[in-house]
Every structure is written in structure tokens, then in C-alpha cells.
Structure 1
């Protein structure tokens, strides 16, 4: 909302309506004698008595009063605002805005004292204030001289929370992003979006499915093989990579490092969130929020030497096998944390827990390995460690194997289709949706597979055998809870191009009406003509009807024999047309301008014509005899007698055509000049006409008896002129001096 216009209007009003006043100003306007003995006050040609008060129509808020001896002064000043007067130094409010009426020297005006933005729920907020509207943060701003509510931050509403712009999340199956589109937050589902493991240095045990592949360049691998007393025990199943036997264990590790190339990192980053779980330490320090712990295995050195390969986590790998851990216990295992859900992985169970940390979108199982020792084995455990027990020299270590959930719907081939994704399966487009905690396919559109092509539900086509056809449709059928689409056969019909007409349907072709009929004996169908008319020009004439055309009367005759229709258009009355719309019966003498004729019928009664017995050529209200020649203007003409196969007729033929120019005749291809312009006579002949025209072949400007070609210059009296062609006009313009 803008206020500058109101403010300026107020100033203009006051300037025009109020006299130029000082703080205490009086006005004298002494009349000329006629007011004796009492002088009144005069303003703008009007007189006011002593004590009378008034206001100008254009300034109703300034009240003047007439005093003794003919002087007057303003006794009240105010601002005119929306049909109301507001006194000087008063304030008033309108909506969220406060105005004040101010007097400054000679002017009285109102101004905006304080502005604010209106809330949709009611109430006002001052400029600079912010408030929440769902996931949007709005601010009341003054843009130049206009107030506006501007969105300064937005987000996506997701299950009662607000996700910031460019943030990512997933519901266990589908990854989503909060995108900013035209200053509005929009939630977008992302297909095949990778998730990044938390930054930093750490390690995890390698599952049989392999190390994570979100950023292959930051992951490396290593292993540690060490021997026990010979009776190791493992959970079944055991999904760890490596090699675990009763005699030895070989642990395979996935080592996470860092990279300086941020371009290769996935957009969806994950972080170590609060919970109760453990990982392996790398490079001497734990990620923020984790505490150190240590567990060592008292290896059996007598059996064989332990072996280490590749990159290892922090630990002791010389005379024993010791591992450093990073553990946290600042949250409940029941509270979901978010880690990449695309691949299986392993975390350690926190000491004192009996359940694994819940990870969104992952199922988990508890597994263990028990390292067989002796009563004299000296295993070590200190700090905040994973769930590990030392009993009778045996060391049992618990860990959690996380497996990706089978997200989506399973199609007939066993392939999973992601939630909110469509897939065509046997001509049926299905969408995988989540409903009441279940992933089910919902039919978007259906169809039937016919000859390798999908026919949409409700479509109709025909199968043809000669003139007989059978219509088919694709229909939805229900077999218990299963929805299917099947091809349904219709009754036999008649083929009409690519369409199959049902028995009893009629078609109209030309001037014939046909009906699709079925033969009960042969069970075949065909179209049979049930009605016919006579074709005439672009119309159809019903049997036994008559009509007139070109001085002739015709009748439609129809012969029906055994279902066969034979039509004939017969002339029943003959006449001649003189070309002017007049009709004459056969045998009638016809006289016209320059001719005498008789209306005749040919011997075979197929042609009616005017037989000219005497004739000539009509030319400008005169008659020219046959073979006569004459000149008209620049052209020569001849009256000729022409055989038209139905008689003779006289026509005017142009024997010589010339071009006429300023009362002079020019032959074809003649060239002449007229005021510096050259012209040429053009004559063209067509089948029944001769045309002539004058063509300009050269242009020049006329200058004091001389011709100056277009583009050329001439100097006269120190002025240079140039001949120019502007559009279709020649101009002689002074070019330079």
C-alpha cells in the first residue's frame, strides 16, 4: 500500500485552499463606502457580518471569523482527509497506519506518522517486524514509499515440521528435497538420489554386501586375522565379510577418509545423530559427540602369527589385536537416526543395550562373535565400548547388521517399484502408493494387448472378414480382489472403412441410405440399400420430384427391382437461356441486340440451343456486321462469326492492341520518354483476352531542363542536389553546400 499520493494530495489541497498565514494573521478588506455605518468582512467577493464564521468550499477545515472594523482571521485549522476534518496536532488511525495533522509556517498538511502491516489473523506489526505463517517467515518492509509484506524465508511442511530450502530427507523408501520454485517451497521426490555418509575419519566392519559406495574415493579397505584357542562361536546367520572359523577370525574393515573434491559428493548429506551406538576410531580422534573406548583380544600366539593387510582402524596389531572404538550414549535406541539407506552396513551395539539403534529405512538384526580364550587369557576393555562380555576367558562382541528395506511394490517379475513411481505392466500403468502402512499398486490407466499393441480401456476396434466385421472393446473386469483388462467381443456387424457398424445401424453415402443387415442362414452381415435419391450437381433429389435448372425442367425417376435401385434424371420440359436470365420454349423466335435466333432441340433430344439466323457484334450501343473492322482509341477490332457446334455466334476479337499515353498510341515494346522517365508498352495475350500496360523502365529527376539519373548529383549556384527515390516518388534533395 502506497501513501505518497495521499500525502501529496493533502499538501496540494492546503496550498490551494488556505491563505498564506502567519501564526497570528489578520486580514483587512475595507469596502468602499456602501457598508457604512457598519463595515463587514469581504472574501472572494462575498460579505460577512461581524461575528459570522465561514469556510471556503475547497478548504472546509479552515474556519474564518469576521471581527470589528472589517477584519477577519482563521479561528480553526485542520486537515481534510477522506471527507473528515482533523484538527492541527491531532492524530488518527486507519488500519495499521497512524496519521497526524501538522502546521508548519504557512501550511497545514497531514502526514504518515507510523505505518504497519496487517496480519491475516488481525492485528498490526510495525516495519521490520517478522512473523511465522506456516513454514514461511514474513517481514513488514517499507519499499521506497510503499509498505509490503515480504517472504524472507520459506520451507516445506512435512509431518508437522518445517524443512528448510535445499534440505533432504527420506521416509524410509523415497528421498525428498525441499526446493524453492518461484519463491515458494515445493516438496519434490527424487529418484535414485544417493545419500552421503557423515564426513570425517572413522571405520566400520565390512558386511558381505561390501563397503558403502556413496563416494568410492573416500573409502578404503583392510583386514586383521588373529587366532584363538580353537573354539570360536558365531551367530547364525553371520553376515560379516572376512573369514570366521573356530580357529581364527579375519575381520574386514571399511575405512572412511576425506576428500577435497566437493563436486563428487552427493547432495543429501547425513550426520552422526544422537543415539546409542558405536563405530571404529580412525586417525586418533572420534567424531564430535563420541567418546573413546578400547577392547583387545589376547591372541593365541602359539598357533600362528597374526596377519594385517590394507588400511586399518586405530588399534594394536603387533603382539595382540586391539581395537579403538567411538561410542555415544546421548539418545534412545528407539529414536530413529538417518544414515544412507541404499546399502547394507554394520554398527556396534552400545554397551548395556539389548537392542540396536533404530535407523530410518533400515531393518536390523543382532549378531555376535565369541573369541575363544582360556582362563588365563588377558582380554582388555576400557572406556566407553560396544556391548562386549568377558566370561571364562571368552570375549563376546555384539554388533548390528542393517539391511535395506524392500521399498515399494513388487511387480510380477519380482522387481520392486519405488513408492510414487509409475510403471507399465502388460499395458496397465500402475502407481506404487503407500496406504495404511502397506505398499500397493494403484491402477492409473488400463489397456489390453492386441497384436503387440496396447489398446486403451474403453477403446473400440474391429476385426474384419470381408464385409463382415466384429467389434471388440477393452474392458475392466473384476475377479475378486484382482482387477484385470480383457478383450470383449461384440456382435457381428458391417464393415464401414475402419469402423464396425452394428446390425440395424444406417449409413449415408452419396445419395444412398444403407442399413447393416444380418443373414440368419449364413450368419453373415452386409449393407443393403434401403433408400436412394437421384444425384444432381452437389445435391440429392427424391424420387418423382421435379426441379428447374437453366430453363429446363427435370424429374427424378427411380426403378426398384429386387432390392436394386436404378435412378434416372429425365428432362420433361425444354427451353433456351439467352444468357441474360431469360427463358424461351423450343421453337420460339428470340431477338436480341444485334441478333435474331430460334430456340431449337437437337435430334437426339440431348442439347437445347439458340440457333442464330441473323447476327452481328454489339459494340457501344451499335451493331457491327460480321467481318467488319473498326478502331477504338489505340486498338483495332473485328466482328467474327464463330461455330459453337450448336450454332453460330458473333464475337468481337481484338486484332491489334496498343498502349495509350497522353493521347498517343504506342505499339508493343515501344519505349518513350516523358519528363525524364522512360516507359515501355507491354501487351499480353491470354485465351480470351488481350491486356496492355505501361511499364516504367528508367527513372530520373528533372532539373532545369536536364534529366538527372537516380543517385546522381548536380551542382548549381554552390548547392549540390542529388536525385533520390523515396518509396515510389522521385525527389531532388539538396545534398551539400
Structure 2
């Protein structure tokens, strides 16, 4: 504070609820400042004494207390408000409006409790809140039951279809064996996430030859005849007849081949005989031993052949094969700069020979194709396409800096450089160079002088890079607008300057102008009891400012001037101003450390155990001190002895010939013990961390301060400042900041996050901007994760959709001709159509319902 405070004086801290008092140490007797923290500061900056209570909320009453983490308003009565009532801390209740279980929780160090919601149950079909595990039966189907799951929705746990007083399971298939052989199947329709409808599908059947029940469409064989169950046509209907061949049944109108005899057989109906018979046809055999029937065609590459009545293969179409394509005879086509023509060379039985002729053009530097004889103008040159695809160059020149064409030998001047068109290099080549100087050109070897800068310049050719450059040399210095030569001296205002070779003025001889003359720097003289001296007052890189200082008469140590014979006392000494401006000592003594004067030879014993004696030698006096130790409360302690006062340890030391107790160890007192500098400890409750910190003041004093740092409470843990951790799809970080009143606040910030797909072990996190695909029973949907700029929440949105067929594959918008389940029924010939803005949904348009019993395993 920079001032002395009397013992027992008290004063308040300007910003904290803290009172200071100047007291004497009980054991040391040394004055020190004690502090008394007497209250808490509220959010408005007002102080309240310990024990004062205030109601911060209807259900929360706080009291100003001194806690391990410091003075705080600590809750003494805590509760949570719920429907005009106060709930106790850690109590739980059911909020059926929100269908959640609410718990009143309080985190140590918080200003108010928090109502935490946890899932409780599900909404049933009548919007009533039911607890987890509650089982509800479908009022319209006694075979369907739902159970409230942890995902807060009812999930089906039992499905079935009622049949003759009992429940048939989902996907069960059964016959009416005693009746009409009707086939039944119990299927499920997912109306919503928590709602299903069961349907009993019926399919008429037929009675078989042995009395068994057959389903619609089922085929049975008897001999070489196949019968199909078609209830609408009266039962079993012949759908296929066949011929018996080699112990096998051949289907009517079917054909088969005997590779040994190279014969084709056909099972046909003979109308004349009104019976089924087998017809034989002998075919042709090629060079590889493969058989072909008469009239059958074969293909070899791009050529086609016909097996004729003479068992020979006659070519019926001849073409050339070119890169996987077939070209007709005598057709011409072009690719790149090559023209192709398909030619027939020869043909015969089982034989065709073709050839592709090529004519090459030219490819210019522009990438275009040119025919033979075509000309190309490129930059300043002309090219002609010749046979063989070669571009021949003629009539070439150079391209100027402005894009103009120049003939070989033409010259051009740009920026003091003369260029000539080199016909061999086809470029502009510099032949004569000069230096650019103030919008003009200086030829190589020329020299000139600039009066403004006192410098000379030369234009030279640098052989290292074959280019010109301007060299500079310093000629002199600029003084008052004139150019002075190097190594000369100039006088200005009693200061002599030297002009250096690099053009700078350096002061060499410095003086002061006084009474029309120049006095050297440092020169002193006296006139009329006044002392004069030449000194420098200011100086810079290129200037010096001097002046003559003066002093009169005799000056004491404080700079006061006295006339001759004037007497003045300083401490215990008396002086007289004599001729020449000197103060002579005329009387002397010694001054002790308390400001009292001692006579020569006087001895004083001090309370600190030291002995002081005034010793004079005729010209000066001094106090000789003999130190024996430190005296405290009439007790003399030797050097090195130590005493403790609170958390501070003092040691008896010899300081400036004086025995003093000097603090050598410091500490911080907290609750019931002392902590050393740098020690850290945690509060019993909350997220507070305390550090004993030592501060060294500019005057040498030491302050011990208990610094308090806080962390972030998270799930019964205390996260440190800047600590990061993972919570679901979010990367979180603890941030601690200092407020305007030097208190600290902690908060948990989201560093990065993503969107969540699924829960539990199957949870997947998606980064912002990423796109993924989710498969649902009603379609395939593309999802994208983004951050809502208004609320800052991570949101999943649908950016694309596709249909899903009966086999789980995704079908794009516009695709058709696939089977799919629609409203729980298998439909055929479906088409996928978009629905919603931006194709966020799909809908199906399908044909007839597919009979699920037409194939095995359906």
C-alpha cells in the first residue's frame, strides 16, 4: 500500500468481504497484517455476514458459510418445485404428463438443485403413460401382445392369428384337411413402430390322386403327364404331357439332341394318329465335332454361317471385327486421325478372310486432326499435313511481347532492352541492354551523379547472370542542402562533424556556445560564485544538442546553495561554507538507527542485543556495532535460532550489523493445518483444488495466498480445466474462466460432435456432413448429419431415399419390375416413386399380390 499503518488499525478490502488488522506477533512481537474473512459476496457484489440466510428459490434456502472451498452461499434447505410442491433432494416421482421419472438432484457447490428426467415408460394406444415392462393386449386381436421397452415404445412380444378358438403363430401355414383343402397362412403387417395387424390369408386347394391336399399351383406327375392344382378350373388340370424316351419323360413340343448320332429329336402331337410321337432330324457337324441341325446358324467372330441341306456351312454374313464391333464389308469409318475400310479377301465353306485398311492423318499441337494437304497456322508458323501423318513446318517467325508476329531479323525495344527475332530459336533474343534510371535509359558503361543523395551511379553488365545492373558509390554528405566530400570536417553550432565514406555525419569534437565562444564538452568554470559546465542534453543518429549548466556558491548533498560562512547541520554534523565553495566540518557526532545523536565515545546497548559506540577520527564519525544475537521479550537468542509464528518461521540473522528475526519459511493456513508453497489439496466435496502460492513483493515482503481452482462435475467425476473426454458421439472439454469479480466459473463445452445411429453396443457416430445409408422395412434412406445454425443442435436429416424389394435389396427411384412387401403383402411388378420435398420418402405402385406358395421356401 506504500504507507505505514498503526498497530490495531483495521480496514476493509475494497472488493472482497475481508477485514485487515495490523497486529503484533504473539511470539515474535513483529508487526504483521492479519485478515478476517467475515462474509460472502452475492451476485450483485454485496457482502453478507456468515450465518445470514436468503431464499434464492421457492424450494432452496442458502446460508453464508465458510466452506473448505471458501466463503459461499451454501444450501441448507434444498428442494425441487413440482406442481406447487417442494420435493426433497434425491426423491423421485412420476410425471405422467411427460411420461418420465423425475429426480431432485443437487451437486455440491451448485447454487440450485436440478430436476433430472429419466425414462419411465411408453404411451399406449390411448396415450396413457405405462411403465417399462408393462404388457398390453391388442383389444382387436387376443393373439397380439405389446410390451413397453427401454426405447420408450411398445414392441410386439406375441403375434398370431385366431383360428377356431386358438392362436396360430406368425408365418404358420395349415390346411383344412377335413374340408375343401383350403390353405391358410398367418402374416403380419407393420402399421407403425408400435402397432401391427395380423391377417389370415386363405388359398383354395385341390384333392390329390391319393387323397392328399394340394395347394394352388402345386404340380404332381403321373407317368409322363403333369397335373396342376387350379381350383377355379375344377381341381387338377393337365398342364404338360410328354414322350417316353430311354426311360425318361420328354415334355410335349420339347426337343433334345443326341451327340453320338448328331440327331435332333422332337416330342410332338400327331393329329392324324391322335397321339404323341417322336420326330427325328439329322443335322450337320463342324470341324470341331459340334453338331448343328439343318437350318441352324452359327457365328464365328463377326461372320455367320447356315447349316444347309447338304450338311455344309454356308457363309450368309461377312464382316470385319474392330475393337469388339462388327463392320460391314466396304464400310469406312474414322477414329482419331486414322481412316479405316473393311475389305473382303476370300470366302468358302466354313471359311471367310477379311482385312481392315488404314489411312493415317496428322495431329496438330492443338489436338485436332488434319487430313493430308490440310494447313495449320499456329502462333507465327505454318504447318502442312503430309503422307504418313507428319506435320511439315514452313513460313515461321517470332511472337512479340504484345502477341504480334515478327519476321526473322526484326527488332523490338522493351524496357531499355533491344530484342531481335531469332529464326532458328523462333523467339525474341536480347542483343543490346541498358539500365533503367528515372524513366530513362542509361547505356552500359555510363556513369552519372545525383546531387540529392550525394551518390554516384554506374550501369554495368553482370557476367554471372548476363544482365545489367546499377552500382552505387557514396561521394559525400548532404549538409544544409549542399554536398560535402567524404573525409572532410564540418562545423555547426560548436559541434565538429566528419563526413564518412558511407555518407554519414559523425560528431568528432563537441562543445557548447557560451558568451560568443565555444567551450569543450565537460568543461567547467565559475563566475560570481556560480559554477558552469558544458554537457550534452540530447543526441541522435545525425544531431547533437548541448547546453551550459550553472551552479552558485556552496552546494550540499541535496543541491542547496550556501554563501560563504553560512553554517548548516546534516544529522549530527555541522558544516560551514568556505571560500572555493566547500562545506567544512566544524562539529560532529554519530546518529543511531533511531535518528538520535550520539556524542563521540558514547556507548548504547540496544534491545536487540547489539552494542553501539560512536567513534570519531577528527574528520568524520561513525557508529561501530558489535552484534551478539537477537533480543526478544528480554531474551537474547543466538544467531541461527528459529521461532514459529503461525505458518511463518523466523531465523535470527545478522542484518547490517543488527540482529533481526528474518522470515525464512512461509506457509498457508487452511482449516486446521499449514501448507507449504506449491502444495495442492482438494476439497472434501465439490470440484475445488487449492494451491498454496507465494508472492514476492517489490519491497521484499512475501504474501502467502491460497489460490482456488475449480473443475467440472461430470457423472460423479471431477474433470480438470482443459481436460477432454468422450460422451457418446460428443467430444467434451472442461473450461474454467475468471469473472469480473475474480471468481471462477466452470462449464462443459462441446468441442466436436456427430449424429448417433442406433443405441448401446450397436451405436455408430457419424461426423458432421457425412452421409450414410439406413435400411428400414419400408425403404432405404440416405441420412446426413448437420448442425442447426439457430439452435446449435446436431440433427440427422434424410437426403435421399430408395425402395426396398422383397429380398432386402435397395431399388433406386424410377426402377420397376421388382417384388416388394407393401402393407405386409407381397406384391409383384412394383415401381419405385419419390415422395416428399427433396426425395425424403418413397411410395410403391404394384401389380397383383404374389401367391407366397408358388415356390419352395416362400
Higher RCO, 1 or 2 (CA under 8 Å, sep at least 6)? 1
TM-score (norm. length: structure 1): 0.28
